[in-house]
Structure 1
Amino acid sequence: MKAPIVLAVDTPDIEIAKQWVAATQDSVSVYKLGLEFFLSFGQEGIRAIQSETDADIFLDLKLHDIPHTVQGAAKAIENLKPRFLTVHASGGRAMVKAAVDAVPATDVTAVTILTSLSEEDLFEIGYANPALESAVALAKMSVDAGARAIVCSPLEIAAIRSAVGPTPHIITPGVRPLSEVGSDDQKRTMTPKDAISAGASFVVIGRPITKAWSDGAQAMKSKARFIADEILN
C-alpha cells in the first residue's frame, strides 16, 4: 500500500531518477521534481518521469515574481498537468491567484516559510513575526486566493490546519526518522508519522530514502517500504 509520501527526486541524472521511481513506486504516492531537475531536463524530463509511474507529480518550481509573469510561467507548464505546482506565498494574494487562474486542473501549492530557515534567519531577513505566525498568515491568504495546498514546517501543521480547515492539502518537508532529526540543513523537523498525526496530508522525504540507492535498488525499495509502514501502521 502506498503511503502519503512525496519523494524528492533530487538527482542530476535522469536515468537514475527513473530507477528511483521504479524502486519506490509501490510505497510512494507523489514524486517531487524541483527547479534543478526542470532546468536540466525541461518538459521532456517531466514527461519521462510521468511515463514511468502512475503516481502524481509535484512540480516544485516555487514561482515568485509579479502576477503577470507567474501566470505566464504557470501557463507554460499547464500541458504537463502536474498534481501540484509550488509558488512562494510571500509573492502575495494577486500572484497566487494568477497562478491558480493559469492552471485550474493543478493544485497550486503555496510555500509558506522554508524549513531551512531558523527564527534568527527570519528576523534577519526582515519578517516582523516568528515563523508560526508568519506561516499561518501566509497560508490563510493563499487559500483565500485559491491555493488548494500549503507547504509548511511540521511545527506549523496544527496551527495552519486550524486556520484553513480540513480541505486544503498540507504538505510538509523537514520530516526525518527519529535517528536523523537534526543531522542536516532542515532546522524545524518532525518524524513522518507525527507529521501525519498532526494533520499533514503528505510528507516530503528525500535523502532518508534516496541515500539507500548507494546500496542498490532493493535497498532503496526496502527503505521506502520501511518508512511507509512506519507512517501507515
Structure 2
Amino acid sequence: MAGQLIVGLDVSSRARAEDIVTALGDSVSFYKIGYQCFYGADGFNLGKALIAAGKQVFFDLKLLDIDNTVEKGVAAFAETGAAMLTVHAYPKNMAAAAKGAAGSGLTVLGVTVLTSMDDQDVKDAGYERDAAGLVALRAQQAREAGIGGIVASPQEAEMVRTIVGPKLAIVTPGIRPAGAARGDQKRVMGPAEALAAGASHLVVARPIVEAADPAAAARAILAEMDGKRTSFA
C-alpha cells in the first residue's frame, strides 16, 4: 500500500523536504518532486539522493518542447533511476517521450487535465470538449503513443481505466482524505474511492506535508487505502 501513496514534497527548502522524509520513515517509499521543490529546494539532487537511499522518485515537471529535446530530456531523467516523469499529453510529445524512456525503468506519464480545472476552465482554454471528454481523448492518445500511464483526476479514473486497460498507470492528484480542505482543487475524491475507481497511485501533498504530524497524516491515508490495492505494478 505504501508504494501506491506518492507524497508530494511541495516545499521550498531541501532541509524541510528531508525532515518530512525522515518523519515519514518506512511508511512512505514514493515521493513526488515538482516545480517548487525542483527549483527551490535542490530537487534534482534531492531526488537522486532519495533514489540512492532506495526510495522511488516521481519528477513532476510536465515536459513540453520539440520532439528531439523531449526525447533527450526524458532519456537524461531515465538515467537517474527515477520511477516516473510527467510530460504534457500531446500526441507528438508523448511519442517522443516514449522513445527517450525506451529500455529503461522510467514510467512516462501524460498529464491530461489538471485537477484544479473544471469544464469552464477547459472551455476558457479553447477546447470544445468538457474536462472528462478531453481526458478521454488524451488517455487514448497516451495508449497509442506507448507511454506508461497518465495523470488524471480521480473522478475520471474509472473511465480512463476502460480506455487504457489494466497495465498502464493512472496517477491521481486531487486526493483529499476525510476532513481535508479542497484548497484550489476542483475534481477531488477520497483515497479508497480513487483506488476503487481504477487509480494505481495516489498523489497527496498538502494534507501530509502541511500537517502538524505528517507521519500520522500519512498513516491515516494509508488506513483509508487499505484493502483497495490495484493490480498495477
2:45 matched residue in structure 1: 44
2:205 matched residue in structure 1: 206
2:93 matched residue in structure 1: 95
- Using the TM superposition, give the Cα deviation of residue 122 of structure 1 relative to its aligned residue in structure 2, in angstroms: 0.5
1:227 matched residue in structure 2: 221
Q: Which moved more, 1:172-181 or 1:145-154?
A: 172-181
Query: What do the CA deviations read for 1:154-180 (whole angstroms, capped 9, x no partner)?
Result: 111000000111010111000101322
Percent of residue pairs identical: 36
On the 8 A contact 1:3/1:27 being kept in 2, the answer is: no
- Using the TM superposition, give the Cα deviation of residue 197 of structure 1 relative to its aligned residue in structure 2, in angstroms: 0.7
Tell me the TM-score normalised to structure 2 length. Answer: 0.90
CA distance in 2 between partners of 1:198 and 1:164 (Å): 14
Q: 3-state DSSP class of the match of 2:26?
A: coil
Aligned partner letter, 2:152: C
Query: What do the CA deviations read for 1:32-62 (whole angstroms, capped 9, x no partner)?
Result: 00123223425323222334x4221111010
User: Given the alignment of the two structures, is residue 71 of structure 1 paired with residue 65 of structure 2, yes or no?
Assistant: no
When residues 133 and 84 of structure 1 are mapped into structure 2, their CA distance, relative to the original with a 3 A threshold, is: same
Q: 3-state DSSP class of the match of 1:115?
A: coil
Tell me the TM-score normalised to structure 1 length. Answer: 0.90
Alignment of 1:187-198 (within 5 A): 187-198=186-197
Q: Which moved more, 1:22-31 or 1:123-132?
A: 22-31
On the 8 A contact 1:152/1:170 being kept in 2, the answer is: yes
2:230 matched residue in structure 1: none
On the 8 A contact 1:31/1:56 being kept in 2, the answer is: yes
2:157 matched residue in structure 1: 157
- Using the TM superposition, give the Cα deviation of residue 5 of structure 1 relative to its aligned residue in structure 2, in angstroms: 0.6
Q: How many residues align?
A: 224
Q: Which runs of 5+ in 2 are unaligned?
A: 228-233
Alignment of 1:83-162 (within 5 A): 83-89=83-89, 92-104=90-102, 105=104, 106-162=106-162
- Using the TM superposition, give the Cα deviation of residue 14 of structure 1 relative to its aligned residue in structure 2, in angstroms: 0.6
Query: What do the CA deviations read for 1:112-145 (whole angstroms, capped 9, x no partner)?
Result: 1000111111101111111111101101101211
On the 8 A contact 2:113/2:135 being kept in 1, the answer is: yes
Q: What is the root-mean-square deviation in Å for CA atoms of aligned residues?
A: 1.6
Aligned partner letter, 1:79: E
When residues 29 and 66 of structure 1 are mapped into structure 2, their CA distance, relative to the original with a 3 A threshold, is: same
CA distance in 1 between partners of 2:70 and 2:2 (Å): 33
On the 8 A contact 2:14/2:43 being kept in 1, the answer is: no
